[in-house]
A = this chain, B = another copy of it.
């Protein structure tokens, strides 16, 4: 057995924390530092660290913990209030990038099958990766703001729409995937989650109330439940595991010992798993062989990725009569693409739906949107504007305070 994985973890922990503290000092979110750590150490930088099976699996647990923690901190009654807004933001935030990506690809890619291939580039641009935004909003203490809640809700719906779009395109290409079955499974997942959530929340809450003190078993069972739910979402219903983790978090949110559980889950995250997740995004980057067309395509796809979400999601927010500043914040919060876009792209290459030369521009797009989102978020949230902040939520308030003092 090789012990180098211990060194990998140690290097990731130290470098993400060090660069995180540095970026915070220059008034950028710590998350940017963590991403830069991966870029600098990985193949695109000093080539000291590489993706291993272990790091991939640890980073998968990392993103699950991140989304579970986001669920634990989400006030579902607040999310319900933002329902219509989230839905409109999500739908327009999927349609506009889909068209934008299609048009950009159509300029560079012609020939047989080009139509479907170009639609596929559009599909890659639809999936928002909300984890970076969640982490940044937590840092800024704005996760419980109205725009924060709309972003969370929209990202959830966006995820589902992205899965549907991917399924439809894959189905059109292969002709052997039953689209209606896939759609049925997605609907079944959310219906079942509602039913399970209703009973589990009550049972778990009652069980915890029987004890007068905090007990390790509460955290252990909550975390095991999250892992099982993520697994079932992915393997049984074909929904992303991170969606399962988020929903599991929602089910446990607002139970009597939720604060205790959230603290323990957060410790598990920051002390091992989430730094690996953020660093591993940077590790995916390689310096590609570039020609003029690919460079042009890269620039175009990055611009469209950024603008299409700001315009699409912003439009959705404006349709709900939100003020301009909120529409901008929501649009910016949805810019970030991440692992979902990369997973879709990988699937596309192996299914012959995407030319390999387009893979590097997609990676560049993911990295730039990931780095730029926290920076832009910080800028647009600087002026508080007319934003409603739900500071009366005690959990959110406590988490905000903690993020300020205990870093």
Contact = CB atoms under 8 A, between A and B. Distances in A.
Interface of A: 1, 3-7, 9-10, 13-14, 17, 21, 53-54, 56-57, 60-61, 64, 213-217, 219-221, 223-225, 227-228, 230-231, 234-235, 241, 264-265, 267-268, 270-272, 405-407
10 contacts: A6-B61, A9-B227, A10-B228, A17-B221, A215-B406, A215-B407, A216-B270, A217-B407, A220-B271, A223-B271
Contacts of A223: 13, 271-272
A227 B10 contact: yes
Secondary structure at the A interface, as helix, strand, loop or mixed, is helix
A13 B61 CA distance: 14
A68 to B, nearest CB: 12
A223 B12 CA distance: 12
Contacts of A228: 6-7, 10
Number of copies: 2
Contacts of A53: 53-54
A271 B271 contact: no
Nearest to A17: B220
B1 A213 contact: no
Contacts of A57: 5, 54
A227 B4 CA distance: 10
Contacts of A224: 9-10, 13-14
A217 B231 CA distance: 32
A270 B224 CA distance: 12
